[in-house]
Structure 1
Amino acid sequence: MTINKSSSNYLNEAKMAEKKNREKEARNSSDDIFVDEVKFKSKVPKKPDEEFYVSKINKPAKIKDDPNFFQSLMFQFSKDNTSGMAAQLAYYFLLAVFPLLIFLLTLVPLFQIDQETITQMIQDYAPSDIAGTLEGIIGDVMTASSGGLLSVGLIVTLWSASNGMTALMNAFNVAYDIEDNRNFIVAKLLSVVFTVILALSVILTFVLIVFGGQIGNLMFGVIGLDQHFQTLWNLVRSILPVLLVFVVFLVMYTTAPNIRLKVKSVIPGTLFTTIAFLVASWAFSFYISNFGNYSATYGSIAGVIILILWLYITGVIIILGAQINAIMHKRTLRKEKEEDGQDESIA
């Protein structure tokens, strides 16, 4: 009797499973936009009573069987939801911009830099709407600069900006289709290090632009070199900020993804990001200064809106650079596997 019950239960379970499969097939055939859940093979150990599933946006991305580089990039752009990740980066970076600005400005009195020098530089390089917003913040911070503000600004800056760097690291991992299973503390420390590098690069760029001439006079005037060397220094001074941007992106693209990469493998994406970032920043500033009239639409918050747009464009460019590197990396791995297969067949 027990055997009959077991057999009956087994048959019932088999029928139920078959019925569920038929219902699932019918649902898939009648509803083309239905997407099955996909289990995720994670390196992180899981508990016996839990499963990992792929986190995704249910948006189709098309690609041909043998795509060229541009088609692969467009597929990667759509598959990785690049526009959404860039918006996420813009949000985090916006939260980090003002604490970072406060922190940097609290250091200004230590170097005997007056407010007029900073505001003049902002007027020369930033669109008028953003310049007005930044000048107001600069005036408030420099008149109320204190050690307490410095310490609070440092803590808030590192925390807020590191969140932006964490989002950037996640975007890089998505580009390479890899899991970020690094320890939370390690990942947070790495994002803080990138934040500090970025802050130092901003300070160094500011010093080169504002005080480059004085530095050249001190360097070449003391040892008695003529005007030709100062002309050469002025040329070097104009190139150094670009080189600095390149080095910062090179370091991020090499070390931020959770995968071992050679420096030469990330050079294509770094070159693209550096050139595109500088050109897009100049073009955006030119457009805002000459054609855009955001003040008529957004009023007093026009500067913030423009800043968000610029951060969004920057996010798209940085992610595209990572995707270029990822495509090159995947193609290199595929080529190496094909060559290894040919060698084995010959042997």
Structure 2
Amino acid sequence: MRCTLLCYSRSTRPNRRVATRPKSTTSRGSEEAMSLREPPVSDTHRIRSAILHTVRGAYNHDCADAAAAMAFDFVFAIFPGVIVLTALLVVMDIPVEAFGALLHEFGVVVPGPLIEVIEDNLIHAADAPQSFFVLGIVGIIWPASASMSTTMSALNRAYDTRENRTLWRRRLLSIVLIILLGLALVVLFNLIVFGEQVDTWLERNWALSMEAPSLAGFIRHTAGVIGTLVAAALIYRVAPDVRLRWLDVLPGSLLFLAQWTLIAGGFGYYVRNFSYYNVIYGVLGGVIIMLLSAYLVSFTLLLGGELNGALYRQRQQRLFPWLQDGHSMRTRD
């Protein structure tokens, strides 16, 4: 009996479980596990993937149609912009002929035929009444802001994000961008004029020969390249409804500068040697050249935005692996 009770008490005694420490799941362990599951991607593969996504995005996001709309609005803003520019030249005491010479120095980054059209309009607009200045401001702001609004929509598609800003906010931001770009253009002209004055002073006081390297020419080319790069970076950073850093928009800005320089040189050479616009289109030849130049510039701008969007998605998916294509990026709000 005693043995039976003892066996019963031992069999009914609850089993004591030894508490074990859970395995630590630190971030380092998760990163090591993830690295074991997914092999590292080489830089060559990332570059190839970015180029492929850029070309595919330019096709899927209808960059050709958006560039046509941007060029159309840009052409409407040319003549009012020339009136405003002429008035600014009068205020800055810069002759129109001197400004035409400065425009030809920008042939590195601006298509030559477009420069000739702007120069011809400048000469005719110089005789216009000063009362046209106000009309020119209104005429340039509205179509230019419409072109910038189209650019915003196209760059949002490049980042696969939706537009969360209101219509009046987008229009106001477009106007501010146009004003900032105009002020940057004025500063650029002042730098060029300052470089010419320094050249004149050096020739007069230091008896430099004309064959010596010109400081004004160096300032023209450097300011043109830097100004184009900064303007493109400003548009790429502010236009899309995505939080971006300046470093995020640098690749697209460099691509835009390289493409624009090549297109400007190639298109200018083609127009001077092989084209027959004046024979076929007559008086409209200048308008056709201006439209084609504006279209090429707009398309290269959107192509740089597609590259920025592709690289940005790569970084987001590397930091947050659960993000897939089609998910919205971080918006500004």
TM-score by length of 1: 0.70
> Structure 1 286/266 Cα, relative in aligned 2: closer, same or farther at 3 Å?
same
Match of 2:81 in 1: 100
Match of 2:93 in 1: 112
- Residues 1:155 and 2:138 aligned together: yes
CA contact (8 A) 2:86 2:125 kept: yes
- Residues 1:283 and 2:266 aligned together: yes
- The letter of the residue matching 1:162 is S
- 5+ residue gaps, structure 2, are 1-47, 324-333
Q: Distance in 2 between matches of 1:127 and 1:339?
A: 45
- Residues 1:295 and 2:275 aligned together: no
Task: Please give the per-residue CA displacement for 1:220-250, whole angstroms capped at 9, x wherever unaligned.
Answer: 799x899699856753442122011111111
Quote how far apart the aligned CAs of 1:191 are.
0.4
Q: Which of residues 273, 287, 299 in structure 1 aligns to 2:256? A: 273
Q: Distance in 1 between matches of 2:146 and 2:82?
A: 16
Alignment of 1:1-347 (within 5 A): 68-121=49-102, 125=107, 133-146=117-130, 148-209=131-192, 212-215=195-198, 217=200, 234-338=217-321
Quote how far apart the aligned CAs of 1:288 are.
0.8
CA contact (8 A) 1:105 1:141 kept: yes
Q: Let me know the Cα RMSD of the aligned residues.
A: 3.0
Task: Please give the per-residue CA displacement for 1:144-194, whole angstroms capped at 9, x wherever unaligned.
Answer: 231x21111111111121111111111111111111121222211110111
Higher RCO (Cα < 8 Å, 6 or more apart): 2
- 5+ residue gaps, structure 1, are 1-66, 341-347
CA contact (8 A) 2:61 2:158 kept: yes
Quote how far apart the aligned CAs of 1:203 are.
3.1
CA contact (8 A) 2:195 2:215 kept: no
SS at match of 2:320: helix
Q: Distance in 1 between matches of 2:208 and 2:295?
A: 43
TM-score by length of 2: 0.72
CA contact (8 A) 1:130 1:306 kept: yes
Q: Distance in 2 between matches of 1:273 and 1:142?
A: 32
Q: Could you tell me the percent identity over the aligned residues?
A: 26
Quote how far apart the aligned CAs of 1:270 are.
0.8
Query: Which moved further from structure 2: 327-336 or 226-235?
Result: 226-235
- The letter of the residue matching 1:103 is V
- The letter of the residue matching 1:274 is L
- The letter of the residue matching 2:128 is A
CA contact (8 A) 1:208 1:241 kept: no
> Structure 1 321/130 Cα, relative in aligned 2: closer, same or farther at 3 Å?
closer
CA contact (8 A) 1:96 1:160 kept: yes
- The letter of the residue matching 2:225 is V
Q: Distance in 2 between matches of 1:339 and 1:181?
A: 23
> Structure 1 81/107 Cα, relative in aligned 2: closer, same or farther at 3 Å?
same
> Structure 1 285/210 Cα, relative in aligned 2: closer, same or farther at 3 Å?
farther
- The letter of the residue matching 2:233 is L
Task: Please give the per-residue CA displacement for 1:7-41, whole angstroms capped at 9, x wherever unaligned.
Answer: xxxxxxxxxxxxxxxxxxxxxxxxxxxxxxxxxxx
Q: Distance in 1 between matches of 2:138 and 2:313?
A: 39
